[in-house]
Amino acid sequence: MAIGERIHFFRIMRGMTQKYLGMLVGFPERSADVRLAQYETGSRKPKAELTATLAQALDVAPQALDIPDIDSQIGLMHTLFALEDIYGLTISETDGEVCLKVNKDKSKAAEELLQILTAWQEQATKLSTKEITQEDYDQWRYNYPKFDTTQHWANVPSKELSDALVETFKDKLKTD
């Protein structure tokens, strides 16, 4: 699905008109609907800064708007082939159904993908057991990773920096 279709999808989901969303992102009132229509129809593609502004106005992550074009089956297949190459995605059969699996031994990236998919599966299970609402589930999906509590998305200092800080402040560290 192209970015314009995603903008349209989320705008409708939020109950916004083109004019309202256009004005919300800073377009002049007289042309706000026309400008937004250009993005939704794909005659113009928003730059990264506008994509971020649209995402904020629509209360989604920018990545929820700018996703790969998988509208055609061929495009989808090539996306899956790329996932096979990069993340060790494999195709198999289980109980008479085709299944996609992640080979976590392929690479660190594959292991991380498996963790991400597991977090998604946990949210889907919560939805199916009515532990969370569809709205909660959509909020989790469309703002991922913002509300993902299973991952640790923090920047960690390098070992060299950590060692240097320990050395610098070693006399101030408590020793029990």
Domain boundary, last residue among 30, 45, 65: 65
Measure Cα distances from 61 to 97, 115, 119, 145 in Å: 33, 20, 17, 8
- Whole-model pTM over 0.85: no
State the total domains in the chain. 2
Query: 133 lies in a domain?
Result: yes
pLDDT digits (tens, 9 = 90+) for 83-96: 888 888 999 999 99
Diameter of the chain measured on Cα atoms = 69
Helix ranges (DSSP H) in the chain = 3-13, 18-24, 32-41, 48-58, 62-65, 73-87, 108-128, 134-142, 159-168
Domain boundaries, position 133: 73-142
Query: 126 lies in a domain?
Result: yes
Structure tokens belonging to residue 152:
């640790």
Indicate whether 77 and 52 sit together in one domain.
no
Lowest mean pLDDT segment, chosen from 20-24, 109-113, 166-170: 166-170
Give the residue with greater pLDDT, 167 vs 126. 126
Query: 157 lies in a domain?
Result: no
Q: Return the CATH number at 25.
A: 1.10.260.40
Characterise 138 by phi-psi region: left (phi > 0), alpha (psi -120 to 50), beta (else).
alpha
pLDDT of residue 73 exceeding 60 = yes
